Chain A
Amino acid sequence: RLPSGRRRHRESAAEGCPPRDGGSMRCQQVSVLYFARSAELAGLRCETLSVPRQITALQLWEEIVRLHPRLAVIRDQVVFAVRQEYVLLGDQLLVLQPGDEVAIIPPISGG
């Protein structure tokens, strides 16, 4: 279902990923963390993903939804946290470093 090299679980070795249009060809291994409803929809709490170093927040979301299509229903309600800073799902260019944490953040309800 998925092109090889595009998705990696923690226990698999990284192979690099195919070049993408409009972005840096160098790929980074980042950790994607899922919380609350997004963890239920994706069916997991974390995974390692190979993504281009430069990618917009929206492009990253679309990549994640390609892997976990059930997440599409919450697209209008989530933001990312990249290196623990909130980022809206838009055109902001993310400059990712290897090992960066990207978290899917559904609407919060602490307190």
Chain B
Amino acid sequence: MDESEDVPKDFIKLKSEKLSVDEVSELVISPYCGAVSLFIGTTRNNFEGKKVIHLEYEAYTSMAETEIKKICRDVRQKWPSVKHIAVHHRLGVVPITEASVIIAVSSPHRTESLEAVMYCINTLKASVPIWKKEIYEDEYSWKENKECFWANSEK
């Protein structure tokens, strides 16, 4: 067996079409890996008692891709056995219950991919220039991740 044929890859995509869990997991599957770990971020229908109609996402696309690449590089430094990483984020309108982000990581054993997926989503929320607007019935709100160090802690 020649594992050098299965070069570790990062698959990063920002797109307005519906995300596919099948597509993202298939990207990271490897014959050398016994584990694929997944995170799916979905849209909730409520926030502080208000009904959420849908979400809208926008991004500083070129910088977002660069920041996600940095996250992948960090993952490979912290968990060298990680094989493939896929991060797909949706932009534009995302209806309730649909996925806004899917992250998949493969590794020979499960611990590394599970930890790497958690690191990916936590770091994405802290550093990737993507913004979410929650649309309610009568108003809207730009959300702020608590991980973002330049957000106000109080509203």
A contacts, CB < 8 Å to B: 33, 35-37, 76-79, 81, 84, 88, 103, 105-111
- A selection of 13 A-B contacts at a CB cut-off of 8 Å is A35-B58, A35-B131, A84-B62, A84-B63, A106-B144, A108-B127, A108-B129, A110-B57, A110-B64, A110-B128, A110-B129, A110-B131, A111-B145
Contact A110 B101 (CB under 8 A): yes
**Bound CA–CA A22/B82 (angstroms):** 51
Contact A36 B148 (CB under 8 A): no
User: What residue in chain B is nearest A89 (Cβ atoms)?
Assistant: B150
Contact A33 B148 (CB under 8 A): no
Judged by a CB distance under 8 angstroms, whether B7 is at the interface is no
Interface residues on B, range: 20 to 34
User: What residue in chain A is nearest B128 (Cβ atoms)?
Assistant: A110
Shortest distance in angstroms between B153's beta carbon and chain A's nearest beta carbon? 11
Contact A103 B130 (CB under 8 A): no
Contact A106 B142 (CB under 8 A): yes
Q: Please indicate the chain B residues that have their CB under 8 angstroms from the CB of A111 in the complex.
A: 41, 89, 100-101, 121, 124-125, 128, 130, 145
Contact A108 B152 (CB under 8 A): no
Q: Please indicate the chain A residues that have their CB under 8 angstroms from the CB of B129 in the complex.
A: 35, 81, 103, 105, 108, 110
Judged by a CB distance under 8 angstroms, whether B132 is at the interface is yes
B contacts, CB < 8 Å to A: 41, 57-60, 62-64, 66, 89, 100-101, 121, 124-133, 142-145, 148, 150-152
Cβ contact of A109, chosen from B63, B127, B145, cutoff 8 A = B145
Q: Please indicate the chain A residues that have their CB under 8 angstroms from the CB of B132 in the complex.
A: 109-110
Q: Please indicate the chain A residues that have their CB under 8 angstroms from the CB of B59 in the complex.
A: 110
Cβ contact of B150, chosen from A36, A79, A84, cutoff 8 A = A79
Asked, given contacts A77-B150, A105-B129, whether A36 binds B63 with beta carbons under 8 Å apart, the answer is no
Residue of B64, B124, B128, B129 contacting most chain A CB atoms (<10 Å): B129
**Bound CA–CA A106/B129 (angstroms):** 9
Q: Please indicate the chain B residues that have their CB under 8 angstroms from the CB of A78 in the complex.
A: 150
Closest 3 CB pairs of A and B: A110-B130, A107-B151, A107-B144
Shortest distance in angstroms between A43's beta carbon and chain B's nearest beta carbon? 16
Apart from A109-B131, A109-B143, A109-B148, what 19 extra A-B contacts exist at CB < 8 Å?
Answer: A35-B58, A35-B129, A36-B58, A78-B150, A84-B66, A88-B150, A105-B129, A106-B142, A107-B150, A107-B152, A108-B125, A108-B128, A109-B125, A110-B125, A110-B128, A110-B130, A110-B131, A110-B145, A111-B41
